[in-house]
């Protein structure tokens, strides 16, 4: 049985975690490596790990990303120290012999239709994106996840000629607490859940 995390850690990961709109500071390459080293062990279906991440930091890369952003996301994204493109590889099953070596699992996926593969990759890549948010918070970074962008433009700029598709973006850095919206209520257990 795993021990529960202390209340302070739960606050950092969940209860006081917020979506930030303004960021400052630097995010080092070492921090990005630590971030990946944490999130990569989060479970996915048969360890398929379809997420592919692009850490956009340079002005040149932000220049490629900028035209794909919705107007309301442009300024804050261009100012963020790092923007993560969370994408998923539609050919994720090619890595199955390495990621799930104890049995032949590639055939579980390589015979699926494109629509079935999209569902599997999107589901598990999104899960990995959520692990990224938790890992970032655990390392003292603040996050601003968003979906206000043109996926086709991001895919053309960053994944042309591949089977990789963008899913969502996350601004990373040290958030300015004075710029976040007041915490809105959440659905109660009875509204969102049932036990059967």
- What 3-state class would DSSP assign to 127? helix
Q: What is the pLDDT of residues 82-104, one digit of tens each?
A: 999 999 999 999 998 889 999 99
Residue 176 lies in a domain: no
147 falls within a domain? yes
Give exposure, 46-58, as e/b (b: 16+ Cβ within 10 Å): bbbbbbbbbbbbe
Question: Coil, helix or strand for 169?
Answer: strand
Is the pLDDT confidence value at 74 over 90? Answer: yes
CATH number, domain containing residue 142: 3.40.109.10
Let me know if residue 33 belongs to a domain: no
Per residue in 34-62, pLDDT tens?
999 999 999 999 999 999 999 999 999 99
pLDDT at 124 over 90: yes
Q: What is the pLDDT of residue 144?
A: 95
Task: Provide the domain limits for residue 157.
Answer: 38-167
183 inside domain: no
Cross-strand partners of 82: 172
| 10 in a structural domain | no
Confidence (pLDDT) at 168: 98
What contacts 9, CB < 8 A, 6 or more positions away?
Answer: 138
Task: Answer whether residue 173 shows pLDDT above 90.
Answer: yes
As a whole number of angstroms, the distance between CA 146 and CA 118 comes to 20
Task: Give the global pTM.
Answer: 0.94
| CA distance linking residue 66 with residue 68, whole number of Å | 5
Whole-number average pLDDT of the chain: 95
List residues bridging with 175 in a β-sheet. 23
Contacts of 30 (CB under 8 A, 6+ apart): none
Total number of domains constituting the chain: 1
Cα 42-48-54 angle, rounded to 5 deg = 75
Is 152 domain-assigned? Answer: yes
Average pLDDT over residues 69-88: 97
Other beta carbons within 10 angstroms of residue 65's beta carbon come to 21
Domain assignment present for residue 56? The answer is yes
Is 185 domain-assigned?
A: no
């Amino acid at each position: 049985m795993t021990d529960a995390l202390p209340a302070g850690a739960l606050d950092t990961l969940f209860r006081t975690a917020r979506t930030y709109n303004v960021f400052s500071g630097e995010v080092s390459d070492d921090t990005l490596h630590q971030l990946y080293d944490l999130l990569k062990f989060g479970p996915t279906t048969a360890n398929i790990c379809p997420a592919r991440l692009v850490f956009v930091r340079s002005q040149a890369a932000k220049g490629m990303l900028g035209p794909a952003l919705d107007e309301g996301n442009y300024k804050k994204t261009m100012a963020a120290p790092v923007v993560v493109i969370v994408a998923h590889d539609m050919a994720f099953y090619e890595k199955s012999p390495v990621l799930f070596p104890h049995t032949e699992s590639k055939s579980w996926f390589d015979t699926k239709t494109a629509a079935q593969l999209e569902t599997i990759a999107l589901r598990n890549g999104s899960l990995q994106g959520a692990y990224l948010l938790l890992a970032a918070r655990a390392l003292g970074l603040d996050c601003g996840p968003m979906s206000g962008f043109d996926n086709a433009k991001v895919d053309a700029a960053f994944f042309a000629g591949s089977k990789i598709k963008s899913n969502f973006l996350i601004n990373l850095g040290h958030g300015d607490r004075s710029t976040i919206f007041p915490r809105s209520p959440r659905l109660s257990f009875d509204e969102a859940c049932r036990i059967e």
